[in-house]
Amino acid sequence: MEQSEILASMHNQELLVVNSRRRNGLIIYKAYHAEFAGPGAAVGGVFDLDCQRVLPVGNLSLLKAESEEERQKAYKIRRMWIQLTKQITDRPYPLERAQKIINQFEGFFDANTMAQIPDEAFALLVGIFPQTVYTVRNMELGNRE
């Protein structure tokens, strides 16, 4: 599914679920922040009407929730992903937020996938400037050499 198709589905209030059997997800850009919907999470429906653009992460696979039980489970999982991000956002220091969100994603995605996620996306997920993410990523590269 192309980004434009995903966006159209979301604006049409179609409820989809990120495939829980893959290491994939969707960064959902809103007006002033972004949200990450990881495996098992609901996307679209009434939650994402204000979505401005999306960024697939990993080999994205979106499925239709077939039953009410599947929808409820997907809603709970979406909430869990939001709460995980909020725990990082609650940290007072921007460098620490950048480090934590990068660590979370590195624990789940390979280096190639990580390289495709722009600094801006991480920044919008945890309420910091993209330059802060850039700084942390470059500090990590320096530590690996």
Which of 111, 133, 128, 130 lies closest to 120, judged by CA? 130
Range of the domain at 28: 3-144
- 59: alpha, beta or left, given left = phi > 0 and alpha = psi -120 to 50? beta
pLDDT of residue 1: 82
CA distance 127 to 3: 24
Q: Where are the alpha helices (DSSP H) in the chain?
A: 3-11, 68-89, 94-106, 111-115, 119-126, 130-144
The pLDDT tens digits of the residues spanning 93-108 come to 999 999 999 999 999 9
pLDDT of residue 143: 64
Q: What's the number of domains the chain is made of?
A: 1
Average pLDDT over the chain, rounded to whole? 95
